[in-house]
Each structure stands twice: as C-alpha cells, then as structure tokens.
Structure 1
C-alpha cells in the first residue's frame, strides 16, 4: 500500500504485510475477508474506523442503545488486526499506579468485561488470576510500596485489591503484610519464592487480573453484531475489511439530518465524507477508533498521540520430566516485570501463560533494546532482532520456570538460565500520549475535526482495562442531543478531549520520546500493560 508523504511524527496507514500474531492463528471464518455488502455503502448514520476492542464495543453500545442505526465499520486490514489482536493477552486494572478515581474506572471496566464474558460464555479463554508486579529495582519498589500504604489509609476499598510482598530475613517474602482475610495456604504462597520470583526486591500482587485471547473476544462481538442483521432487526451493521480510510473531508450544513433507518432527528453542523480506495461514505458521525494510527487521518495529533511499536514472543515452556505423574508447568499468575537495579525505569515486561497442553509463555516487552525504544514506529511488518534475543533468554532470569520451584528454601536460589524456543514472534503498534491518558470525545476544529467527528484512542499500552468503558463514554457523547446537558458520562476527566487539555499538554508535558526515555511515563502513571 503506497503511503503519501507524511509530516514529521505522523503515522502511516497499517501496512499490508504485518507479522503474524499468535492470536491470529485461529481466525474467524466469518470475519476473514468479510464485507457485509459487496459494494461500499454510500451513506450511514455512523461510520466507525477501526475494528479492535474500542471499535467493536462502540458498535455494540451504539446498536444496544439505538438498534435502528445504520452503522458501517471500516478496517484497513482484517478484522481486529491492530493492537487488540497483537497485544499480550492481559486485562488488569492499575489499582495502585493510577489516581484513585481512574483506578476505580479501570476496575469497573475489568468487572464489566468479566461479567460480559460470563454472561454470554464468550469462548475467549478468559482466566481470572492474580497479577504479580515484580520489582528488580529497590528504589522503584519502595516508591510503589509507599503508594500502596497511602492507598490503604485513604482508599481502603481499592487497597483491598492489592497486597505487598517484601523480602524476609532469609530473602523470602515477609508474610506480615499480607491481608488478614487470606487463608493460611494463600498466605504461605504470598512470598517471593512462592510467587516464583526469589531474587526480586519485592512484589505487589493485584487480585483482579485476567489472561485471555483478545482476538476471540472481539470476533465474538463482531459476529454477534453481524448475526443481528439476519434476525430482521431495525438498522444494520456493515463490516468492510481491507478498506483503509485515506482521508476525511467535511462540509458545513445547517440542515436537520436523519437517515431512513434512524428515527431520531438531530441537529448537525457538518457532513463528513470518508474516503477509501473503494469509494466514499457520507455520514454525519465518524468515530475514529484508530489508536496509534490516528495521526494519519488527523496530522494535528502527531505530537499528542504517537505510534509506538511493541514486540511479543510465544515461547515453548521448558521441557518437563518424563514422569507421567508430573503435571505440566503452570506459573499460576500473570506477571509484570519492571525495573533494573541500575535503572529503575528501563524495563517493562509482561507475561501470561496459555492453557495446557501447549502452555506457551506469552512474553512481551524489551523495548529498551529496540531502536529508539520503538517510539514513532507505525510499521508492524518486522521485529527487532535484539528484542527477540532478549525475550528468548531473559524470562528465566526473572521468573523461576522450574516444574518444582523452590518456595520456602530460606537460602539463595539459583535460577537456571534458559533460551526458550519461540513459536510466534510479532510486533504491534500502540498509541502513546504525552500525558499517558487516552483521548476520548469530540475532535475540535482546531485539531482537524468539527461537529460529528469523534475520537477514542491513545491508551499508552494500557487499553484492555480502559477501552470498553471509554468506548461507551464516547458513544454516550455521540448519541446525546446537542442541547442535552444532563447526560451523565462515566469517564475520568483526564481522558476528555478538549482544547484546554491539548494546550495544557503541549505547554506542560514533554514529547513522548523524551518522557519515555527518562521513564516519566512510568513514574507518573505506573507500568504500561500492552
């Protein structure tokens, strides 16, 4: 796909030949190459650009709230081929490393998603577990430990979701700080050895965490939306894959607009034309769920929302003994591994394990070894070899992967360094923002928008516990009457897209590349969890 001349910092379109993600190895037969109609619709009530977790849930909420809407979703590649289909398979709220009201929002997001998976029995391998945040920097651990202490005093309801594990006299975890409501067996496991991290400076355990197959979650949602078309419902949902949006144009109007499928007439000041190589779509409402690729359509965001490439490997677990009585390796938790003794903010790795029998270890991170830390890179067709070597060999240095790991040795434990064999290695594009918060809301004219253009993007590697309720919030904004000031929007004010916030960010925050290299994104808002 030929790319037009780009401005400095601007993203290109998604490339045609991305690396193959582990999550795409079992594609939906219904979604692969799907175009609901052979020809591109010429008009729609709402056009959604992007088919990841944000776009799919936005369509879900739109059709849930107004079934008569005609919604068209356009995707540059296959469905869910961007960050959602290429991430680390985590969903975990940032309880202690976010402002408390943001932590509460993320926890609501997590619980909503968990409840939805259970309600519809969504086959996405959702596994509720505990999240172990492993610190190899004493400085960083002490900083986060003090945050948890303050949380316990000021917000005990949030603090109940976390526990601090410190070194004991023999280098093992100190049980004294573990919550009183834990069973005795759980308290014994809440040690550094029991958590498979005997050499760590400390750990913070979060009880609300999950691993999942993110592509299958989104595929279920999109298939359900498409199935509603066949049930004779009002309105329609039209998915058009392999249809990149190359531009947006706006025309002023003073007319009251409504489509044949939409009984609700609203006042609009703009008509938007969505341009693609297959033709154009005319609409009064456009929602960009474009994450790291946003600046391709809105160059004004080139300094506010920066594409950033991450990398992940699916690694075969260490070989287990031939004794049939031995169970397969089960690490039992999800992990974030942060900090180095000499550089507290250089490392940000993440790990989940797939179920047996394959039980691959999905290990991501290592951006400190990528050229420019991946900042400004929007091409996911390749990987960094230096990051690949790191991911293959570093995991066993950080986490005890032995089948019978030492829990309560009381002495020094030597982890056996292993070079693990990858089954998949892939990259993906995140959207990093200068203040680490998403941009959610109407796009002002000064940023290339105007009435009817909406954005929900820029999760700085932390989209899974933010995107669903952010999508709901932007849908609530989109559907609100122009003169309706009583609509309650569940969204942290830091996420709202306003000109005032844009000016504040540009005046008071460093460029993403500068802040990321210094660790500022981590220091202010906790580890990123792509």
Structure 2
C-alpha cells in the first residue's frame, strides 16, 4: 500500500541528533540503548508509541491493572524519555485559576498523585514541593486574572481557595522577589523535579517486574515508527506498525506521541501542531551566603502582554548543595558554588514564527538564548535577602547570566487548547478504513483499537500521568477504584476525542499559528485577548 504523502503542517520523525538537555546529563544505565529482546516481537496485545511521561504511566497502569497478563511493547524513536518530558522546564504545577473547573480538579489530582507516588516509592527525582508564583508583568493581564479569580470565588470557592492574588508592592518585592511585577498569583500546590528520573524509575520498575516472557513489558529504543497501517482482514491484530527494524502487529495501539502525532496521523496536522520550546540552565549570581547562592524558595512563571506577543517564561531552581561553600566561590568563573542552577524556559516571542510548526529539536535559536540569559536580572531579585539594599556580588546587576546547558524540545499544541484523549475516530485514521461498513468513527469505544493521549499545549506534567490512566481504562474497559472509598476525578469530558470534537475544533478555533499571531490566551476554555482594546 502506498505511503501517504506528507501534508502541510505535518511533523517529521524525531531528529537523531538532538540538543543536549540538562536532564539527560545523568542517563539511566539500564535504559540507555535498551532493547528487551534483540529482535522486534512479531505481534503484541498492546503497542505504546512513545516513552515519555504519558507512555511510561500508561504502561504502568496497564501492567498493574487489567493488562497485567498481556504483552506490551513500547517503541521509542530515540533513547527512552528523550522527547518533551526529558526536555521540559522541570515544573509540576496545576494552573488552577485559568483552567475550566473540571480540568482544574483533574490537574490538582494529578499533582497529588505524582507527589504521593514519588514519596511512597522514594523516587530519586529531586521532587521539591514549593509554592508556584505567577508574576503578572502588565496591568492588562492583572485585570483579566483578577476578574476570573473573582468569578471562581463566587462559583467554585474550593478552587479559588487554592490561589491568592497578591498586589501588595512590599510583599511582591520582598517575599516574592518580584520588584517590577504589577501583581502575582501564588499557588500553594506546585513542585519542581527532575522529570527524566521520574520516568526512568517507572520504566526501570516495569522492566524489573515484567522480564522477557509472553506477558512481558518489552522496551525497544532507537526504533521509530515510520508508518501506521490498518491491517486488512485481521480480527485480532488490526494494526501494523512499520519501523526500520521490521513490523509489529498490534491488537491495540496507543499513540503517546504528543508533538509528533501528525507524523503517524496526518489528518491531525491542523489539530495537534508541533511547537518548539527552548530552555537554559543558568548559573546563579554569587551572593554572601553559606552556599554562595540565594535560595529562591519558589517556582515561577513570568507573564506579560508586551505587543505583539506576550511573555511566557518559566523558572525553577535546582536544589542547593548540602555542603557549605565559600561565600563567593564561583562556577565557571561567574556563579555561586552551592548548586541551585536556574532552569529557565520560554522566549518563544523571539523565535521564528513563535516556534509554531517546528518539530526539530536539534538546534537552539540564538535570539531565544540571548533572551533567556538576560531575562531574570531586573525581573527576579536574586540577592541573598530579597528587598534588601545589599546587591548580589556581581559586576553589574543587569549582566546576563551564564548558561551551562541550552536545549530545545517539541511540544504538542492542541487547536482547542485541550488534550486529546481516547479512541481515534475512523475519520482520523492514517488510511481509509478497509471496512467502512462497520466503522462509524463517532464513538469512544475504539472501533479499530487505536488510541491517542497527547497535545498538552506545553502543560503536560500536571496532566499526562492521570490522562494516561484514563486512556488505559478506555482501552481495557475498566475503571479505577478510588482511595478511601472516594472516586477519582474523571477525565474532563471536553478532553475526550470524538469526530464531533474534531469538527468543532476546526470550525470554532483558530489554527495555532493564527491564535499566536493574534496574541490570545485561554481562560476557562475561552480565548481572550492579552491586550486591552485601549
């Protein structure tokens, strides 16, 4: 059968030579180059494409639930967790005040699930629960956010109680280290972590518990799926996955492919758009403290509405060294000697076309890199005692910081700004169905055994793990029992993939490129302008 021609906006395969992520500097010896079996299995009950947080937790829920006795094969184009999860900014932070209420509850449950998962298993991923502070750098944005929080206080006080809008200048400049912010939103449920190590733990645990056998968990790295084909005439294994190393027949396929989804489902090229992010590990300025660097104490998002595009940067600080160091010890000749690297992502307003449509992560853009190195001085007080007159030990307070790592990663942006989770309707199959008389393509029961869990629009960490649980429940026809007699939060109905939703997304929402050009943001599921008409 002929391979479908590449369509406009379609992503390519992950690039073989990617930029070096900070999170990949300590790769798992068990996972690097791992292939559970020397050859690809001929067939499997379940095939998961992608080994990031979605694929890993889908395998976890599958093998620790209804799929325990099933054969599960995971195909990864590069090394395990070498895509967006291994390239993000290290945040796990629900955006409670901008989300639709149903989504806010789901994100909060996902955050708590990951927090408890890490604690119960003692996952060595540097999880640090610390408040998330969203700096609002322009009055237009303060007005939008304040109005929506006021609505939440009336309609959903349980969500509103989780966030605080701070306008007091002394508190902004002091405790929150934001001398130039107009206001800030403080969210108590937020964390920083080493995301690659979390996923590596999940995958290593699966490999240890389910060694090679008919019911194994079989991980195959460096095995890109080049084509997905619906097999004619097969009732038990209706899908064939083509790779450079051979083919695998699958009873059920889950695409955990995020920004690369359109490579295998070209019909979704206008629905899930690849978008490149850029991140830098910055050496903090030295200050007179025991560790030599300031303890920032919060994670941050910096929002602004400077035309023509808004600023959207995000920051965490790596843990400080436990060993005391000289107050002015330097790293690389500039920064403090107590660890505490600053992981800053963003700057898409400086990228080509806002980085929309970019699916290659083998380059960094110099203009974005220059922004990231210079963005924090003047915006974040990095002195030992915020708000004090004593400046950091630096030649100039506005001097750019030094970057020890700069890397890029590919996000999957959703046209209607909600994840796509569930059975892929027949209208989005990679090829016309061979039995159109029986496939309606309108249900969510998986008419062809093909499922998708992707498109988090740069916000996957507080979503993906339990979205993976939800899609596994759909795949297996099971439900998840709640703890203590309580039912877990359901997947938001607006995230479920249907043919009708595809039509609505195309009819009612701009393409991602047009959305970004207009300078919009989404609050409570609706697009709003970042800049007032005045």
TM-score, structure 2 as length reference: 0.86
Structure 1: gaps of 5 or more residues: 174-190, 258-269, 410-414, 482-486
Q: Which residue of 298, 311, 323 corresponds with 1:347?
A: 311
**Contact 1:94 / 1:526 at 8 angstroms: preserved in 2?**
no
Q: Whole-Å Cα distance in 2 between the matches of residues 172 and 463 of structure 1?
A: 34
TM-score, structure 1 as length reference: 0.86
CA positional deviation for 1:327: 5.5
Question: What's the CA shift string for 1:314-347, capped at 9, x where partnerless?
Answer: 00000223xx65663110000000014x439511
Q: Whole-Å Cα distance in 2 between the matches of residues 217 and 59 of structure 1?
A: 14
Distance 1:516 1:506, change over 3 A: same
Distance 1:215 1:207, change over 3 A: same
**Contact 1:166 / 1:192 at 8 angstroms: preserved in 2?**
no
SS of 2:251's partner is strand
Q: Whole-Å Cα distance in 2 between the matches of residues 489 and 204 of structure 1?
A: 25
Structure 2: gaps of 5 or more residues: 322-338, 391-395, 431-446, 479-486, 528-534
**Contact 2:105 / 2:489 at 8 angstroms: preserved in 1?**
no
Q: Whole-Å Cα distance in 2 between the matches of residues 503 and 49 of structure 1?
A: 26
- Correspondence 1:380 to 2:361: yes
Question: What's the CA shift string for 1:109-136, capped at 9, x where partnerless?
Answer: 1101111001100110000000000011
What is aligned with 2:467?
Answer: 470
- Correspondence 1:226 to 2:207: yes
CA positional deviation for 1:233: 8.3
Q: Whole-Å Cα distance in 2 between the matches of residues 38 and 280 of structure 1?
A: 14
Q: Which 4+ runs in 1 deviate beyond 4 A? A: 252-255, 324-327, 522-527
Q: Whole-Å Cα distance in 2 between the matches of residues 252 and 296 of structure 1?
A: 21
Distance 1:115 1:79, change over 3 A: same
Q: Whole-Å Cα distance in 2 between the matches of residues 526 and 109 of structure 1?
A: 23
Q: Whole-Å Cα distance in 2 between the matches of residues 116 and 298 of structure 1?
A: 33
What is aligned with 1:113?
Answer: 114
Question: What's the CA shift string for 1:380-422, capped at 9, x where partnerless?
Answer: 000110000000011112111112221699xxxxx92121000
SS of 2:275's partner is strand
What is aligned with 2:455?
Answer: 458
Question: What's the CA shift string for 1:213-266, capped at 9, x where partnerless?
Answer: 000000000000000124x987110000000000011124474x4xxxxxxxxx
Q: Whole-Å Cα distance in 2 between the matches of residues 526 and 128 of structure 1?
A: 30
Alignment of 1:64-463 (within 5 A): 64-65=64-65, 66-167=67-168, 171-173=169-171, 191-230=172-211, 235-253=215-233, 255=235, 257=236, 271-321=238-288, 325=290, 328-340=293-305, 342-343=306-307, 346-357=310-321, 358-406=339-387, 416-448=397-429, 451-463=448-460
SS of 2:276's partner is strand
CA positional deviation for 1:518: 1.8
SS of 1:295's partner is helix
Distance 1:526 1:207, change over 3 A: farther
What is aligned with 2:507?
Answer: 507
Distance 1:326 1:140, change over 3 A: same
Question: What's the CA shift string for 1:130-166, capped at 9, x where partnerless?
Answer: 0000011111112101211221222221122111100
What is aligned with 1:187?
Answer: none
SS of 1:172's partner is helix
